[in-house]
């Protein structure tokens, strides 16, 4: 990821736009290719040697920050190690102890006289007494062990994504407009929202209108209400590549730039490319555990890989956490309510009571029972007694099974 000081952007009024590279531009591709060639052939080279090869190239790239940004991305993909076969700290300890003794023993007329004495005592062949030998294990002397290769276009694409991510690090909120006709990708997006503990409100366009397929996602972190709190910027930035996997999207974010609030807008025509080929492959640990345990202990139901979106009350869209199917082909969806999105629970309950045929069951974190009104509402709900259950932190397979069977 790029850092804020490497961002290239344009300001116009209250708008901020990252200067995205044309990833087909022959000159840019050639510059990227030259940098890549050095990293590809640089195995075994010291950082300082790499730097001496790269500096003339980087100095020719305009603006200079672009060169620095590309270098940062390449360095992030490299593994360096200390080439020393010597145990430098130990050898240094011995030599420095000897040097200290000699310095303390007597007055020396000149540094040369002192060095001669040191050579005699430590041995002329001591590698630490060669030029720049004492601290030869400094980071700039680390050598390149491996480099995760990519092609020139991919490097430029990563630079573009990196620019947006660096801006989102100081974002206060993010609004996404996406087309609901890509359910699989949207589901992946929603999984990521949950994984990064971002708060999200999803609204659908009015039924029957030309915006029927449009979804509006308002995304931010819990502390977004406060001026100074942007601790969720990293989550927003890390989440962003998932947006680029969608065919149609528009993004609007409020970002802090040099102590002013600026508006960042982007859309699919920005041609940003998600750098992760298997971005959707990550499954949080608790879900993995639940899935494997469920498979072992609940033979009559199986977890369905993809959950559909369900239209809720008004324009609200419900994204179930898990979906299940039994041998008879019956489908049930499970929505979980944790403390950070408890507000919608009463309305959801009322809606489900009115529409008992919706194949949705609810799991509610027990922590929500601390609210006496909500507790009373749940205890008195006949629908919840049949189609809902309580859990702590994450639901158990047995509770889920019981509820699925009750709801048949």
Partner 1 sequence: MTTAMFTLEFQDGTLLLSQSGAQIELPAELAQYCRHDPRVGCWRAEAFHYAEILTYLYQNKLPYQDLARAYQKLTLQFSEQRTARPYQQAALQAWMKARRRGIVVLPTGTGKSFLALLAILRSARSTLVVVPTLDLMAQWASQLEHAFQCPIGLLGGGSHDLQEICVSTYDSAVLQMNHIGNRFGLMIVDECHHLPGETYQQLARLCLAPYRLGLTATPDSPQQGNNILEPLLGNICYRIEIDELEGKVLAPYQTVTLPVELEEDELQEYQKNRETYLNFLHRNQLRLDSQQGWSLFLRACAQQPDGRAAFEACLKQRRIARNGRGKIQKIWELIQQHRGDRILIFTAENATAYQIGEQFVLPVLTHHSKIAERRQMLDAFRDGTYPILVTSKVLNEGVDVPEANVGIVVSGSGSIREHVQRLGRILRPSPGKKAILYELVSSGTSERYVSERRRQHRAYEKPDSMPT
* Binding residues vs partner 1 (CB under 8 A): 59, 63-65, 89, 92-93, 95-97, 99-100, 103-104, 107-108, 110-111, 114-115, 118, 129, 131-135, 138-139, 197, 199, 201, 221-223, 225-226, 228-229, 231, 339-343, 370-373
* Omega before 265 within 30 of 0, i.e. cis: no
Separation of alpha carbons 174 and 251, rounded Å: 7
- Find out whether 264 and 252 touch, Cβ atoms under 8 Å: yes
DSSP class of 373:
H
Closer to partner 1 at the Cβ: 101 or 293?
101
Biggest distance spanned by C-alpha atoms of the chain:
98
DSSP 249-298: EEEEEEEEETTEEEEEEEEGGG----S-TTGGG---HHHHHHHHHHHHH-
Separation of alpha carbons 408 and 259, rounded Å: 57
Give bridge partners of residue 284 from the DSSP assignment. Answer: none
Residue 242: both structure tokens together: 């998932």
Closer to partner 1 at the Cβ: 282 or 340?
340
Closer to partner 1 at the Cβ: 24 or 52?
52
Minimum CB separation from partner 1 for residue 231, in Å? Answer: 5
Minimum CB separation from partner 1 for residue 97, in Å? Answer: 6
Range list of β-strands (E), 55-198: 78-81, 143-147, 171-179
Closer to partner 1 at the Cβ: 197 or 295?
197
Minimum CB separation from partner 1 for residue 136, in Å? Answer: 10
Minimum CB separation from partner 1 for residue 39, in Å? Answer: 23
Closer to partner 1 at the Cβ: 139 or 284?
139
Minimum CB separation from partner 1 for residue 226, in Å? Answer: 5
Neighbours of 128 (CB within 10 A): 18
Q: 204: closest CA among 337, 306, 310, 353?
A: 310
Minimum CB separation from partner 1 for residue 277, in Å? Answer: 28
Interior CA angle at 7 toward 22 and 52, to 5°? Answer: 85
Beta carbons within 8 Å of 148's beta carbon, 6+ residues apart: 77, 78
Q: List C-alpha distances in Å: 179 to 53, 242, 402.
A: 47, 14, 36
Closer to partner 1 at the Cβ: 159 or 324?
159
- Find out whether 302 and 330 touch, Cβ atoms under 8 Å: no
Minimum CB separation from partner 1 for residue 253, in Å? Answer: 17
Give bridge partners of residue 147 from the DSSP assignment. Answer: 78
Interior CA angle at 56 toward 52 and 58, to 5°? Answer: 100
Closer to partner 1 at the Cβ: 30 or 229?
229
Closer to partner 1 at the Cβ: 118 or 304?
118
Minimum CB separation from partner 1 for residue 198, in Å? Answer: 11
Closer to partner 1 at the Cβ: 137 or 157?
137
Minimum CB separation from partner 1 for residue 235, in Å? Answer: 10
């Amino acid at each position: 990821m790029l850092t804020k000081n490497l961002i290239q952007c344009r300001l116009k009024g209250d708008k901020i736009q990252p200067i995205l590279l044309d990833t087909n531009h022959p000159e840019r591709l050639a510059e990227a290719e030259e940098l890549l060639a050095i990293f590809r052939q640089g195995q075994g080279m010291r950082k300082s040697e790499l730097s001496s090869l790269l500096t003339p190239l980087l100095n020719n790239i305009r603006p200079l920050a672009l060169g620095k940004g590309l270098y940062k991305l390449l360095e992030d993909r490299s593994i360096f190690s200390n080439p020393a076969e010597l145990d430098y700290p130990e050898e240094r300890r011995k030599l420095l102890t000897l040097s200290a003794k000699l310095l303390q023993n007597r007055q020396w007329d000149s540094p040369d006289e002192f060095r001669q004495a040191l050579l005699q005592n430590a041995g002329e062949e001591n590698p630490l007494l060669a030029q720049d030998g004492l601290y030869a294990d400094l980071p700039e002397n680390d050598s390149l062990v491996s480099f995760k290769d990519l092609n020139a276009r991919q490097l430029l694409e990563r630079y573009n994504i990196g620019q947006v991510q660096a801006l989102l690090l100081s974002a206060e909120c993010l609004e996404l407009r996406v087309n609901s006709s890509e359910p699989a990708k949207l589901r992946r997006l929603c999984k990521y929202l949950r994984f990064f503990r971002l708060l999200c409100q999803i609204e659908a366009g009015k039924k029957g209108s030309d915006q029927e397929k449009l979804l509006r996602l308002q995304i931010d972190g819990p502390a977004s209400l406060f001026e100074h709190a942007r601790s969720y910027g990293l989550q927003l930035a890390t989440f962003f590549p998932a947006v680029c996997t969608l065919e149609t999207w528009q993004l609007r974010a409020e970002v802090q730039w040099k102590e002013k609030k600026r508006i960042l807008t982007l859309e699919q025509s920005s041609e940003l490319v998600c750098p992760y080929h298997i971005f959707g492959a990550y499954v949080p640990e608790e879900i993995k555990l639940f899935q494997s345990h469920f498979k072992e202990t609940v033979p009559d139901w199986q977890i369905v890989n993809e959950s559909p979106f369900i239209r809720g009350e008004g324009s609200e869209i419900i994204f179930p956490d898990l979906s299940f199917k039994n041998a008879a082909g019956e489908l049930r969806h499970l929505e979980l309510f944790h403390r950070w999105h408890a507000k919608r629970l009463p309305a959801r309950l009322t809606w489900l009571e009115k529409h008992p045929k919706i194949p949705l069951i609810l799991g509610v974190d027990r922590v929500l029972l601390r609210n006496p009104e909500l507790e009373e509402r749940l205890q008195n709900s006949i629908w919840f007694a049949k189609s809902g259950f309580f859990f702590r932190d994450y639901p158990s397979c047995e509770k889920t099974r019981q509820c699925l069977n009750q709801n048949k």
